[in-house]
Chains A and B, each alone.
Chain A
Amino acid sequence: RKEVEQDPGPFNVPEGATVAFNCTYSNSASQSFFWYRQDCRKEPKLLMSVYSSGNEDGRFTAQLNRASQYISLLIRDSKLSDSATYLCVVNRGYSTLTFGKGTMLLVSP
């Protein structure tokens, strides 16, 4: 089983739609979880951290299910500018991170 698995997509959605991405991780000892966003031919940037209680940042909601080793990202009211690849990231070891392959989102007018 891969350390971090994501559906590569692409997810094609119209503007205003709600879309959800899932991610599973294999290391039950992982403690830190993140979603990074990567625009085409650009560097990754932190979108949000994922906390055990779930957290929300505007239109974005992240959830963590430790029992199932599963992380999710929900985007409401999608904008054209949300088109990007969303990378699920989990810590491996004390201070290192493992990145998933990413899920591509394409938002159309």
Chain B
Amino acid sequence: EAGVAQSPRYKIIEKRQSVAFWCNPISGHATLYWYQQILGQGPKLLIQFQNNGVVDDSQLPKDRFSAERLKGVDSTLKIQPAKLEDSAVYLCASSLVAGSVGEQFFGPGTRLTVL
């Protein structure tokens, strides 16, 4: 079974530029998560989708971050404009069960460096 796919794996941009990340969850998984993991920290939830609806985006900095999950499958996370403190690994995860806590399967992440 294919795992969670993410691209790109690495991205280097200058502050104030825009960047987008893509995620393809495991087939059939209803719930998709985007996390930000800063070096030395645990993953921090940015946004959670159930199918194509948003369940939780309370920790998403909405002035610069946006995310969508069209058709309840793939998802994109965008940062516009980027700040130095956005340098982190952006992890996408998916889980099979909708509406309850189940095992989350993570993708390899996108490592973003903002100069």
Give chain A's interface residues, CB within 8 Å of chain B.
4, 8, 31-32, 42-46, 87, 91, 93-102
Contact = CB atoms under 8 A, between A and B. Distances in A.
Query: Contact residue range for chain B?
Result: 20 to 34
Contacts of A45: 106
A49 to B, nearest CB: 8
B101 A95 contact: yes
Contacts of B106: 43-45
Interface string B93-115: 00000111101101111000000
Contacts, number: 49
Nearest to B111: A41
12 contacts: A44-B43, A46-B103, A87-B42, A94-B55, A94-B100, A95-B50, A95-B55, A95-B101, A96-B45, A96-B55, A96-B56, A101-B42
Q: Which of B42, B56, B99, B104 has the most CB atoms of chain A within a 10 A radius of its CB?
A: B42
A39 to B, nearest CB: 12
Contacts of B31: 95
A8 B108 CA distance: 23
A4 B42 CA distance: 10
A30 B35 CA distance: 20
